[in-house]
Amino acid sequence: MPTYEKILLKNMDTPGYTGDLAAYERAGGYQAIRKVLKEHKPEQVIEIVKKSGLRGRGGAGFPTGTKWSFIPKDPSRPKYLCVNADESEPGTFKDRQLIDRDPHQMLEGALIAAYAIGAKVAYIYVRGEFALGAQILERAIAEARARGYIGKHVFGSGVDIDVWVHRGAGAYICGEETALLESIEGKRGLPRAKPPFPAINGLYQQPTVVNNVETLANLPHIIARGPEWYAAIGTLKSPGMRIFSVSGHVKRPGNYEVPLGIPLRELIDEHAGGVRDGHRIKAIIPGGASAAFFTPEHLDVKLDFESIAQAGSMLGSGGVTVMDETVCMVWAAYNLMGFFHHESCGKCTPCREGSSWLHHILHRIEHGEGRDEDLAQMERLCGNIAGKTVCAFGDAEVAPVLSTLKHFRHEYEAHIRERQCPMGEHVGATHASPLPG
């Protein structure tokens, strides 16, 4: 099996590593922020991150340094950093491990980012279900504040950066950056129309950067080892390491830190141990539940932003879910649509109403009541949702439907023809009642 130097998960593999401030400093922690405050001006830090090629690890993959550079230089306007620790994408659990096991790594990255954009306050937005993670972060922040690493004159530099934890209530939509901002402001978590973008009018209508946990955790290493080192890992357009959360029918589910650009086959077969004994791969979700399904013919697609997009899906949150031949693809789409329908914030009519009807039709098909016209109807519904909503939620919810229709249409046709699921009962297949109509 190919082995790679771990960066973000390295400390966790160290015997006896506790994740507290003392352990993190013994591992070299908080040296990068000291170096930044001593040697670099904020605009120089932005250039370093640009040169590294670091791209956002939350889903969209937007270049991090470029995102920071959009912040106005007007000193009269307060700036904010918001850390997206919502991680609500099904099949994704990398940020949770980074928070639970090595919180100071992300905190140091947040301090570097805040300094670079001129923010004096950073808010860490933690998913409501991450109760343990929130406690761990609060404890880590208290440790750092007691040592003068957070608050007034951090590290004696004269720079003020405070950090606070804000717990969400467990809404998927709050993983979208503008809905996250609304939630922090005490409002209902609904996405904002863009423009204006958060860099201009973000939190409290002030310039704001929203970065993912994994994105920020990379910063201390980029500063310590140089942007050239980081840019040399992975591919030219997708540099660096990436943590992939592998789950489903594999022998060794878990988080795997590998260079961007390795084949999907290597991640599943070599690192996650391959599909469970006696079975074969039928479908793969390569980037979280909102990514289009892949089939075994995609196993040699490279895991980088460009290659996955060219193959018809997205790298997204890095959540890789493997399904073997025992899984009914109609049930899989129905199950995911149940989630998306439940989590739709309701702001946009196409998403609110479209998800309801897609879920209703999928329920009908899966339970032996499908109609010949249902497949064309679902395709029309998807066409009326994708690209017609304020945020990308609409595109996300139709991806499982359209991709299963594309690759597994025969299963839908069999359900309708045989008036039942040909594969029998499925755990959770009746988790939601049929909708009226």
User: Rounded to the nearest 5°, which phi and psi values hold at 340?
Assistant: -65, -40
- The CATH fold assigned to 329-418 is de novo design (two linked rop proteins) (1.20.1440)
Distance from the Cα of residue 273 to its chain's centroid: 23
Position 427 pLDDT exceeds 50: no
Helix (H, G, I), strand (E, B) or coil at 400: helix
Structure tokens at 261: 């650009």
* pLDDT tens figures, 41-84: 999 999 999 999 999 998 888 999 999 999 999 999 999 999 99
Domain range list for the chain: 11-231, 241-324, 329-418
Strand pairing category for 319-324 and 241-248: parallel
Number of residues written out for the chain: 437
What Cα–Cα distance (Å) separates residue 211 from each residue in 114, 171, 310? 11, 18, 25
CATH of the domain spanning 11-231: 3.40.50.11540
Torsion 278-282-287-289 (CA) sign: negative
Please give the pLDDT value at position 426.
55
Partnered with residue 377 across adjacent β-strands are none
Identity at 416, one-letter amino acid code: I
What are the pLDDT digits (tens) for 102-153? 999 999 999 999 999 999 999 999 999 999 999 999 999 999 999 999 999 9
What per-residue confidence (pLDDT) applies to 1? 76
Return the DSSP state at 186.
T
* pLDDT tens for each residue of 316-363: 999 999 999 999 999 999 999 999 999 999 999 999 999 999 999 999
CA distance 369 to 49: 55
Which positions ≥6 away from 424 have C-beta within 8 Å? none
The residue type of 150 is I
DSSP H stretches of helix in 165-218: 177-184, 213-217
> Which tens digit of pLDDT belongs to each residue from 273-311?
999 999 999 999 999 999 999 999 999 999 999 999 999
Distance from the Cα of residue 316 to its chain's centroid: 6
d(Cα 137, Cα 103) in Å, to the nearest integer?
A: 6
Q: What is the pTM of this model?
A: 0.94
Rounded to 10 deg, the angle between the 349-366 and 409-418 helix axes is 60
Nearest to 54 by CA among 194, 242, 206, 201: 242
Rounded Cα distance, 199 and 203, in Å = 9
Report the CATH number of the 241-324 domain. Answer: 3.10.20.600
